[in-house]
Amino acid sequence: MESFEVFRHVTIGQYLPGESLVHRLDPRAKITVVLLLIAAVTFSTSYTAHLALLALTLGLIALANLPVRYIVSGVRPALPFILLLALMQLFVYGEAAASAVRGSAVLWQWGVLRVTAGSLRLTLVSLARLLELLLLVSLLTNATPTTSLTYGIESMLRPFARLGLPAHELSLIGTIALRFVPVLGEQFETILKAQASRGANLRFGGRLQFVRSAQQMVVLLVPLFLNALLRAEDLILAMEARCYGGGRGRSHYVRLRLRAPDYVAMALALVFTAAVLAARNALP
Partner 1 sequence: MNSLLTIRRIVVAGLLGAITILLGATRAGFIPVPTPLGDATIMHIPVIIGGILDGWLVGAILGLFFGIFSFIHATIPMFKDPLVVFLPRILIGITTALTYRGLRRSNEVVAVIVATVVGTLTNTVGVLGIGVLRRYLPLPAAVGFGVAAAIPETILAAIIVVAVVLAWRGVAARRRTADL
- Closest approach, Cβ 123 to partner 1, in A, equals 9
Give the residue, chosen from 21, 158, 190, 247, that forms a contact with partner 1 under the rule CB under 8 A. 247
Measured from the CB atom, is 107 or 178 closer to partner 1?
Answer: 178
Chain positions 253 to 282 lying near partner 1, rule: CB under 8 A, are none
* Sign of CA pseudo-dihedral 261, 270, 37, 283: negative
Per-residue interface string for the shown chain with partner 1, residues 27-66, x marking contact by CB under 8 A: -----------x---x------------------------
Measured from the CB atom, is 245 or 284 closer to partner 1?
Answer: 245
Chain positions 136 to 175 lying near partner 1, rule: CB under 8 A, are 137, 141, 166, 169-170, 172-175
Give the residue, chosen from 93, 135, 139, 266, that forms a contact with partner 1 under the rule CB under 8 A. 93
- Closest approach, Cβ 272 to partner 1, in A, equals 19
* Interface with partner 1, residue 122, by CB under 8 A: yes
Residue 4 buriedness (CB in 10 A; 0-12 / 13-18 / 19+): middle
Q: d(Cα 150, Cα 250) in Å, to the nearest integer? A: 16
Measured from the CB atom, is 61 or 262 closer to partner 1?
Answer: 61
Q: d(Cα 58, Cα 43) in Å, to the nearest integer? A: 19
Counting residues that bind partner 1 (by CB under 8 A) gives: 79
- Closest approach, Cβ 264 to partner 1, in A, equals 27
* Interface with partner 1, residue 105, by CB under 8 A: no
Give the residue, chosen from 51, 62, 100, 275, that forms a contact with partner 1 under the rule CB under 8 A. 100
- Closest approach, Cβ 162 to partner 1, in A, equals 13
Chain positions 186 to 215 lying near partner 1, rule: CB under 8 A, are 188, 207-212, 214
Give the residue, chosen from 111, 233, 254, 278, that forms a contact with partner 1 under the rule CB under 8 A. 233
Q: Which stretch binds partner 1 (CB under 8 A): 57-65, 219-227, 251-259, 270-278?
A: 219-227
Amino acid at 173: I
* Interface with partner 1, residue 239, by CB under 8 A: yes
SS (H, E, C) the chain: CCCCCHHHHCCCCCCCCCCCHHHHCCHHHHHHHHHHHHHHHHHCCCHHHHHHHHHHHHHHHHHCCCCHHHHHHHHHHHHHHHHHHHHHHHHHCHHHHHHHCCCCCEEEEECCEEEEHHHHHHHHHHHHHHHHHHHHHHHHHHCCCHHHHHHHHHHHHHHHHCCCCCHHHHHHHHHHHHHHHHHHHHHHHHHHHHHHHCCCCCCCCCCCCCCCCHHHHHHHHHHHHHHHHHHHHHHHHHHHHCCCCCCCCCCCCCCCCCCHHHHHHHHHHHHHHHHHHHCCCCCC
Q: Which stretch binds partner 1 (CB under 8 A): 26-34, 231-239, 249-257, 270-278?
A: 231-239
Measured from the CB atom, is 136 or 262 closer to partner 1?
Answer: 136
Q: d(Cα 79, Cα 22) in Å, to the nearest integer? A: 29
